[in-house]
Amino acid sequence: MKEDRLEIGGAKINCRLFVGTGKFPSHQLMQDVLLAAEADVTTVALRRVDSGAKADNILDYIPSGCKVMINTSGARTADEAVRIARLARAAGAGNWIKIEVIADNRYLLPDNLETLKATETLVKEGFVVFPYMSPDLSVARRLAECGAAAVMPLGAPIGSNRGLKTKELVTIMIREIKAPIIVDAGLGKPSDACECMEIGCAAVLVNTAIAVSLNPIDYARAFSQAVQAGRLAYLSGLAESVDEARASSPLTGFLRNGD
């Protein structure tokens, strides 16, 4: 499927599984997971980047060719998210930014209005912006119109591993929004990622499910293969779902009445 590349933010991406870097017990395991998934994009929280560190800088463990998308984790307002993005670029972490603005401490749901404000500002400053948001068609449309590289609706609350609970809303967004739709947060099983790809998502972002699994390396491979399978199914055209049975082979013409 190498010919089916995702072109976004001036980059051509082969692997549609984006992998987060949080919750791994070591940077080495994180690197092994990224390699196993053949990930082309990874997200890193700015607070975990120490460009002045003499050793064990997380960026040193990102495989060559894997694009780093700094996320604004910890931001509670648009202004804080913008400040984090600017710091990231000044620190040499690039201009790919995942906007994550969360003021809700219990459910960790994104603040769509503050996310839109941050996106509008950063797009004007030349950032490639990936806003994480609660599925809402009107907000998604405005994010795309202001220049977001993609729109990233949640599948379920962060770290819940509950799967694609927002399927109907995400499906509507895929139909109505021209920007790529990338489901982020809540996916717990490879089959969840496959489901996202089958309905037409451009990619998925997974972190917790892989990081906390018993075998993160193999689980990353499983997610990567599931994403490929779901994408291929979508491109092939899913079979129609019907209410009544349909025989796969003719039921007449082989036996005659009375034989």
Domains of the chain by residue range: 6-236
CA 180 to chain centre: 10
Q: Is residue 51 over pLDDT 80?
A: no
Structure tokens at 97: 């930014």
Q: Which residues make beta-bridge pairs with 128?
A: 96
Cα distances from 242 to residues 7, 54, 88, 230, 238, in angstroms, run 35, 61, 51, 20, 12
Residues 193/164, Cβ–Cβ less than 8 Å:
no
Residue 159 C-beta-side C-alpha neighbours within 13 Å: 9
Q: What is the pLDDT of residue 252?
A: 66
pTM of the model: 0.89
Exposure string over 102-111, b if 16+ CB within 10 A, otherwise e: beeeeeeebb
Check residue 75 and report its DSSP letter: B
Q: Predicted confidence band at 1 (pLDDT cuts at 50, 70, 90)? A: very low
Q: Which CATH architecture has domain 6-236?
A: Alpha-Beta Barrel (3.20)
Provide the Cα torsion 95, 100, 101, 105; round to 10°. Answer: -150
Which residue in the list 12, 54, 67, 98 is annotated as catalytic?
A: 98
Annotation marks residue 98 as catalytic: yes
Q: Predicted confidence band at 96 (pLDDT cuts at 50, 70, 90)? A: very high
Q: What is the pLDDT of residue 52?
A: 58
Identify which has the larger pLDDT, 238 or 186: 186
pLDDT digits over 123-160, tens only?
999 999 999 999 999 999 999 999 999 999 999 999 99
Instruction: Work out the average pLDDT over 220-244.
Output: 91
